[in-house]
Structure 1
Amino acid sequence: MSRRPRRPQRASALPPLTGSRLIEALIAGWRPLQRLDVGGFAVLRSRGITRRAHSIVALDPDPEQPAAALEQVESLLARAGERPVHRIFEHEPSASLDVLLAARGDEAVGHSEILELPLTTTAPPSGAALVATGALDADWFAQAWALAPREGEHARDTLRDILAGTPALQVRIPAADGTAAAVGRAALVSAGREQLAVLNMIAVAPQQRRQGLGRELSGTLLALAAAQGAGRALLEVERDNAPALSLYRALGSRRIGGYHYRARRED
C-alpha cells in the first residue's frame, strides 16, 4: 500500500532553517556527482559543471587552525590539477574563511540570495502543465536543456546526471507548437524529519516572456510540492536577476540567507 504524503507543517511550526541543515538541503537539491568530506569541508565534484555542484563548502573546519584546514582540502584539488572554488555562506564558518580567501586575492563572484517560502496556502496548479514525478523524465530534460543549456565539455550528460540524483517534480508548460514555453523543477529533499522542496531549473522561452508564465510555472511547482508533503520551498537566485527576485517576493518568499563564491585568480 502506498504511503500518503505527509501534511505540510504550518508556517508557525516550521523551525528556522539555518547552518548545516540549510546547506545540506541546498546540496541535496542540486546533488553533485561526487562528494568528499575532508577536514570539515564538503568537496563537491561534477566534472566542472555548475559551481553549485563543483565547489568546496565549509561545514565544520578546525577554528583554531583555519589556514591548515584550508591547505589540506585544497591540496586534493591541486593533485587533480583544478583551481579551488569555495561557496561562501553568510554565517560561520564560511564568514571567517572568506576573510582568509579575500586576503590572498581570491575573487568574489556569483552573489546569490537564498529565499524561503512556507507552503501553507498555494494556488491550484496550472491545467496546461505537463507533470512528471520521481525519476528524471527524458522529455522534460530535453526541453529544459533547450531552454537552459550549460557550457563545457560533457555539460549535457553531467547536468542530466546531477538532476537525476534527487527525486523531483518536473513541470513544463507547452507552447502552441508543442515545444516548452516554460520548464521548472522542485527537488524533494529532507532536512531532519521535515520534507521540503528546492526549486531550480526554472526557465521561460525568450519569445514567451512577459505573459505570466514564470508565475504560473512557479505556482504549479509550489502547489504540487505542498501536495507531496513539503512544508516549505527554497530558491537560490543570483542577486542581479531582478525579475526572478521580484516574482518570488510577490509569491510570498522571504530572504533567509545568501552566498557567493571565492575563486582563485588565474596566474
Structure 2
Amino acid sequence: MGRRVSVRRELPPEESGAAFTDVVGDLVDWRDGVLTITRRDGSIARVAEASIVAAKVVPPPVQRLTPARLQDVASRSWPAPEVATFGEWLLRAAEGFTRRANSVLVLGEPGVPSQEALDRVNRWYETRGLPTLFQVAHADPFDRFLDAAGWLAEGDALMRTGRLVRAADVLHDVDASAVRIQDTLTDAWLSLYHHVAGRSGGGAERHVLQGPPGTLFATVCDPDSGAPIAIGRVCVLGRYAGFAALEVDPAHRRRGHARAIVKALTDRALASGAVTGWLQVESDNRPARELYDALGFTDHHRYHYRRSPVARP
C-alpha cells in the first residue's frame, strides 16, 4: 500500500486483442479482493486479485513540478471572480477578499518592459479600487526588480507538497466518522472561516471558496449544538489536490479534529485520482507546518507579496 506498482492481469475471454494488460500506478486501496491503482494521468483502475498473474513494486517517475506550474494550479483552485491575462501574468480581483485572489500572479514575462507593465497593472487595479499586489516566488527575477524599485514584501509563505498515499498511510487509524463531506459551500461552513469575519460573505467570497468542480468541504459539528467546530477544504484538479481553510474552533482544539478532517479529505482526493497534495501556509504558522510535516509534506518553494511603496490618494 502506498507504493508505485506494476500489475499484469489476465483479460477475460470475451475481450479481444491481447491476453494480458499491465497497470502501473500508485496502489491506494486493497480490500475485498480488489486493488485500486491511481495511474500517472490521474485515472483509476480497479483490478481483481483473481486476474493478477504478476506484480512488482517499481520506482516512482521522475517529475519536476516548477514553481510557476504549481502556482498556476493553486490559482485555479482559488478562482477570483475577475481575471485578466497580461503576457504570462494573471491579474485577479475579488473585492479585496484574500491577497491570493486580489494580486498579480507572476508566472513568467509580461511581454513588455517592466516599468510599462507596472503602469498598466496599476491602472487595472485603480479602476477597481484595489491596491496593486504581486504574488511572486522568491527566486523569480521580477521579485528582484520589485525589490530594487522599493516594493515592500509582506505575507511570506511556503508552498508545500506531499504524496497523498503517504499521508493516508500516516492517518490510516484516525477516526474520521464525525467528518461530513459536501461539494457545496454552506452557510454553516462559512461561519467558521476566519477570513470572512467582518465581511458580508457575499458573491466574491463565495465565488472564491466554492472553487471549480472537484472542490469539497469538510465539517465537524458539535454533537450537542450542531454548530460547526472544525472545517477544511480540498480542491482536486487532476493529479493534484490542494488543501486549504483548515480551522478548528479554539474551544475544541487538541482533540484530533484537524487530523480527522485531513484524513477524510485525503481519502476523497485519492478516490478522485489525485496523487500529489499541496498547500500554502504562512511561514510563521508553526502548528500547520508541524501537522503537515508529520504527513510527509516538504517545502517546494517560497513566495510572498509585494506592495507598492507609493500610497494612493
Question: Which bin holds the TM-score, normalised by the shorter protein?
Answer: 0.7 to 0.9
Following the alignment from structure 1 to structure 2, what is the Cα–Cα distance between the partners of residues 198 and 247? 15
Encode CA deviations 1:160-179: one digit per residue, 9 max, x unaligned.
11122312121112222211
TM-score (norm 2): 0.73
Following the alignment from structure 1 to structure 2, what is the Cα–Cα distance between the partners of residues 209 and 23? 31
Following the alignment from structure 2 to structure 1, what is the Cα–Cα distance between the partners of residues 197 and 220? 25
Provide the residue aligned with 1:113 in structure 2.
158
- Change in CA separation of 1:74 and 1:252 when aligned onto 2, cut-off 3 Å: same
**CA-atom RMSD, angstroms?**
2.4
* 2:290 paired with 1:242: no
Q: Could you tell me which of 6, 27, 35 is aligned with 2:83?
A: 35
Provide the residue aligned with 1:16 in structure 2.
64
* 2:134 paired with 1:90: no
Provide the residue aligned with 2:269 in structure 1.
225
Task: Report the alpha carbon displacement of residue 241 of structure 1 after superposing the two structures with TM.
Answer: 0.7
**Bigger relative contact order, structure 1 or 2, given CA contacts below 8 A and separation 6+?**
1
Q: Number of matched residues?
A: 252
Provide the residue aligned with 1:145 in structure 2.
191
Encode CA deviations 1:219-258: one digit per residue, 9 max, x unaligned.
2211211111101111000011100001010111111112
Encode CA deviations 1:58-117: one digit per residue, 9 max, x unaligned.
2222578322333332232234443211101134xxx22222222332221111111111
- Change in CA separation of 1:81 and 1:130 when aligned onto 2, cut-off 3 Å: closer
Encode CA deviations 1:19-69: one digit per residue, 9 max, x unaligned.
432121110111111110013311011111101111011222257832233
Q: Could you tell me which of 149, 165, 178 is aligned with 1:128?
A: 178
Bigger Cα Rg = 2
Letter in 2 for 1:187: C
Letter in 1 for 2:103: S
Provide the residue aligned with 1:49 in structure 2.
97
Unaligned residue ranges in structure 1 (runs of 5+): none
Question: Does the 8 A contact of 2:94 with 2:101 survive in 1?
Answer: yes
TM-score (norm 1): 0.85
* 12-21 vs 32-41, which moves further: 12-21
Letter in 1 for 2:242: V
Question: Does the 8 A contact of 1:11 with 1:118 survive in 2?
Answer: no
Following the alignment from structure 1 to structure 2, what is the Cα–Cα distance between the partners of residues 130 and 175? 12
Following the alignment from structure 1 to structure 2, what is the Cα–Cα distance between the partners of residues 99 and 157? 36
Provide the residue aligned with 1:7 in structure 2.
38
Provide the residue aligned with 1:213 in structure 2.
257
Provide the residue aligned with 1:262 in structure 2.
306
Question: Does the 8 A contact of 1:8 with 1:226 survive in 2?
Answer: no
Task: Report the alpha carbon displacement of residue 6 of structure 1 after superposing the two structures with TM.
Answer: 7.8
* 2:217 paired with 1:170: yes
Following the alignment from structure 2 to structure 1, what is the Cα–Cα distance between the partners of residues 193 and 88? 37
Provide the residue aligned with 2:244 in structure 1.
200
Unaligned residue ranges in structure 2 (runs of 5+): 1-35, 41-57
* 197-206 vs 209-218, which moves further: 209-218
- Change in CA separation of 1:31 and 1:7 when aligned onto 2, cut-off 3 Å: same
- Change in CA separation of 1:119 and 1:34 when aligned onto 2, cut-off 3 Å: same
Following the alignment from structure 2 to structure 1, what is the Cα–Cα distance between the partners of residues 222 and 293? 26
Following the alignment from structure 2 to structure 1, what is the Cα–Cα distance between the partners of residues 292 and 110? 37
* 2:153 paired with 1:103: no
| Local SS of the residue matching 1:47 | coil
Letter in 1 for 2:151: D
Give aligned-pair identity as a percent.
26
